[in-house]
Amino acid sequence: MASAAQATQIDADDAAPASERTVVFKNCHAAFEQIQKHGTPPDPVTYAIWYAYVSRQPPEVRLAVDKVLGSGGTLDNYELNEIYCAHLEKSGPNETNEQIGKQFEDNMQTVSKLLQTGISQNAHFRTTLDDLSAAPKSDEPELEFKDMLDQLISESQKMAAVSSRLTEGLRKSQEQVKKLNEELERARRQSLLDPLTSVANRRAFDNRLEWQITDAEANGTPFCLVLADLDEFKRVNDNLGHQAGDNVLKLFARNLFEHTKGSDLVARYGGDEFAIILPNIDLMAAYNLMVTVKHQFEQCRAAAAQSNVAAANATASFGIAAFKFRRSADDMIEAADAALGKAKSLGRNRVCAEGLS
Q: Tens digits of per-residue pLDDT, 187-219? A: 667 778 888 899 999 989 999 999 999 999 999
Q: Give the pLDDT band (50/70/90) at residue 6.
A: very low
Give me the pLDDT at residue 215, please.
Answer: 93
The most confident of the ranges 15-29, 171-185, 207-221 is 207-221
Rounded to whole angstroms, the Cα distance separating 36 from 39 reads 5
Q: How sure is the predictor about 238, in pLDDT bands with cuts at 50, 70 and 90? A: confident
32 CB burial (10 A radius; 0-12, 13-18, 19+): buried
Main-chain dihedrals φ then ψ at residue 95, nearest 5 degrees? -105, -10
273 — pLDDT class (breaks 50, 70, 90): very high
Alpha helices in the chain (DSSP H): 4-38, 44-55, 59-70, 77-87, 96-134, 143-190, 202-219, 233-240, 242-258, 283-306, 329-345
Lowest mean pLDDT among 183-187, 196-200, 249-253, 293-297: 183-187
48-63 pLDDT per residue, tens: 888 889 888 888 888 8
Which of 309, 314, 217 has the alpha carbon at shortest distance from 274? 314
Q: Which of 93-97, 120-124, 157-161, 280-284 has the lowest mean pLDDT?
A: 93-97
pLDDT in tens, 318-338: 999 999 988 999 999 999 999
What are the structural domains of the chain? 4-190 (no CATH), 202-353 (3.30.70.270)
Q: What is the mean pLDDT of residues 307-320?
A: 72
Provide the angle, in degrees to the nearest 10, between the axes of the packed helices 96-134 and 44-55. Answer: 50
* Higher per-residue pLDDT: 157 or 276: 276
Report the alpha-carbon distance of residue 322 to residue 224 in Å, rounded.
4
Least confident of 102-106, 219-223, 273-277, 351-355: 102-106
What integer is the mean pLDDT of 292-314? 69
